[in-house]
Amino acid sequence: MSIDFPHRQSAHCESGVTANLLSYHGQRISEALAFGIGGGLFFGYFPFVRINRLPLITFRSAPGAIFKKCVRRLGARVRSQTFASPREASAALDRALAAGIPQGLQTGVYWLPYFPPALRFHFNAHNLVAYGRDGEDYLLSDPVFEEPVRCPRGDLERARFAKGALAPKGRMYAIESFAPDGDLAKAVRQGIREVCNRMVRAPIPLIGVRGVRLLASRLERWPERLGREQAVLHLGHLIRMQEEIGTGGGGFRFIYAAFLQEAAAILGNPDLSGLAEELTETGDLWRQFALLAARNCKGREGANSTFSALAEQLRDCARREEQIFRALLKVV
């Protein structure tokens, strides 16, 4: 049993799954457009929330939010379920596939056997689409892979019920009904406004450009507060959150800039192209920060990669992004 599902590779799993599910239902959109309409860009620094003893630093909105917001803004109805047991979850997946409905699944990466061992890590908010079954193997469209993959039932059940932070609890989601003639321009505007509000109008100092400035002031004091070893661990963690795990680099800034370029054409507004270029430059600035921070971690630092210099770089990112997102608010 197999559904004719349009697999496309993407940089980030949730926006890739969202774009692919929408394409299956007749609205062919890019990963960048799905990310932007879903209001994916974010900055949050939550020093009191710890993951593996390190502070939560995130460059994207909460897991599941991109899919939910994007498809709803495009006028689709969504069905999302969690389950008490692997058996129940697999039975529901089998029923849905037999009915010809591809299903988005939240999984833990560590238990997916088709991931090379070097890339397996304990991250429980990985997204993929199940589009068929061949005996005891599920046919999967995992957007971080070039081609569709197969996964035995037992392994998929373990991945769907991985334990720990962001445990998926068998979460399965699908587009229930969709008429692909929704107001794309309206959805684009809604997505942009949400991100702008978060970046420059957040009421708490942990989010948006205020969050970047808070991180800068904390980072500056990490060596004296934590000691060199812990400070470097924190710095390495920040670089990984920014440049790895499917961000497309620059903490999702490059993907969001690609979205703004598409938005310029959809809304017929060339100002958005200019802002996309400015955001790409900011992505380069974030990447430059990561480069200097990596040199610090490796003990190869110079005058421009001390903790104080890195904090200044972050403040520069915040200053430029404040200008960009305030300008963006005026455009939409």
Partner 1 sequence: MSETSEFTKRLKQLIVETCNIPDAPEDVPEDAPLIGPDSPLDLDSLDAVEVVVAVQKAFGVRIGGEEGAREVLQSLRTLAEFILREQNKR
Q: Where along the sequence are the contacts to partner 1 (CB under 8 A)? A: 9-12, 30-32, 118-119, 144, 146, 236, 239-240, 243-244, 246, 248-250, 254-255, 257-258, 280, 283-284, 287-288, 290-291, 294-295, 297-298, 300
CA geometry: angle 148, 154, 160, nearest 5 deg: 75
- Name which of 66 and 97 has its Cβ closer to partner 1: 66
- Between CA 198 and CA 69 the distance in angstroms is 15
Q: Least CB distance from residue 109 to partner 1, whole Å?
A: 12
In this complex, which beta carbon is closest to partner 1, that of residue 168 or of residue 248? 248
Adjacent-strand bridge partners of 2: 132
Output DSSP code: residue 112.
-
Q: How far apart, in whole angstroms, are the C-alpha atoms of residue 112 and residue 90?
A: 16
Element (H, E) at 196: helix 184-200
Q: Least distance to partner 1 from the beta carbon of 243, Å? A: 6
126, 114 in Cβ contact below 8 A? no
Q: How far apart are CA 261 and CA 5, in angstroms?
A: 27
Helix ranges (H only) for 74-164 are: 86-98, 153-160
Least gap, CB of 221 to partner 1 (angstroms)? 22
Question: To the nearest whole angstrom, how small is the minimum distance from the Cβ of residue 144 to partner 1?
Answer: 7
First to last CA, the chain: 45
User: Closer CB to partner 1, residue 140 or residue 238?
Assistant: 238
> Whole-number minimum distance, CB 287 to partner 1, in Å?
6
- Shortest reach from residue 172's CB to partner 1, in Å: 25
Residue closer to partner 1, measured from CB, 75 or 148: 148
Residue among 170 and 246 whose Cβ is closer to partner 1: 246
State which residue, 132 or 248, has the beta carbon closest to partner 1.
Answer: 248
